[in-house]
Amino acid sequence: MRWDAQKLGTDDATALPGLTLAGLQRSVRTPEFAGVTFHEVTCKSALNKVPEASRMPFRWTVNPTRGCLHACTYCFARPTHEYLELDAGRDFETQIIVKTNVVDVLRAELARPSWARDHVALGTNTDPYQRVEGRYAFMPGIIEALAHSGTPLSILTKGTLLRRDLPLLAAVARTVPVGIGVSLAIRDEALQQAVEPGTPKPRARLDLIRAVREAGLPCGVMVAPVLPWLTDDRTHLDSLLRDLADAGATGVTVLPLHLRGPVKPLFLAWLREHAPALVSRYEDLYGRGAYAPREYVRWLDERVRPLLVRHGFADRAGHRAGRYETPGEGTYPAGSLASSGLSALEPTVAAAQPVLF
């Protein structure tokens, strides 16, 4: 489902010259978000259906915003901004689309007799707890609407703003299944801030995992993406997995970097500035497509499996260790998905998708 299905008709008089965003109400800049423009739009749908062919372990998503202040250089969602005639680089980080009526629309959709209360995932395209959530505060209304309708929900985030809503999530978890996932793949703070400049630091995300667990909620961790020759050495992975175990993570999935479409030249440009010696190696590794070759994926799998066993995230048979038979595929970690339909304790292989919004 593309953005066109999420906006009002193309003849909407509120669309401003120079932007192809029908339903646009206004564009806003504020001092606390220097260099960022929020384009506030009205949407006609909040629930997005995920095609069954995607093999994702959920059929519905909600994304209250487009674009992301996290500014992760490798972000797979960057190309979705091109559907808006914005670029996948700086525009993705500074031109943020905000669906101001998303909570009201979601409540109406969930009240329909046809709604089957299927699991709904949040955080599948851009992060629902990026800093923009601090301004618009959509998530409490979204969580309450889903819980009130009896709909299981899952959240995947890098944003420590999730802590604000932990009491609410703990309360609704008594009536509907709730899954929580945190993304943390880089333990070295200097590298992490260079490649993910708008995200909370590693220590803050480890504290978030602890807070989620202290609230009585599960918390799976996506160690993704692993960056070849930057974060794939045994010492780094061992240290990170030890910290995740100490923080109480209920499951871990480790996945290598993929570079789809315009993300590849953006990441290569980042390498030229920060690690120029690796540019030719990345060009060779990703020269044939978006995904790392099977040989690298198997090598990473062999390196990671004993570390997962060591830190209690897999048994000696490799269960819960993730699967790497197909490049770009991997399981969701235990605890990160709501247990309705597909068990969070028995993850299902899920192909990475370029567009889920």
- Determine the pLDDT at residue 83: 85
Do residues 189 and 201 touch, judged by C-beta distance below 8 A? yes
pLDDT at site 241: 98
pLDDT of residue 330: 52
- pLDDT reported for residue 190: 97
If you search the block for the tokens 């390196």, which residue do you land on? 303
Mean pLDDT by 10 residues, the chain (357 residues): 37 43 86 95 93 85 96 95 91 96 98 96 94 97 98 98 98 97 97 98 98 98 97 98 98 96 97 98 95 95 96 70 40 85 33 31
Task: Give the Cα separation of 32 and 20 in Å (integer).
Answer: 26
Answer for the pair 150, 176: CB distance below 8 angstroms, yes or no: yes
Q: What's the pLDDT at 342?
A: 36
In this prediction the pTM is 0.87
Q: What is the DSSP string of 98-166?
A: EETTHHHHHHHHHTSTT-----EEESSSS-TTSTHHHHH--HHHHHHHHHHTT--EEEEES-GGGGGGH
The predicted pLDDT at position 316 comes to: 62
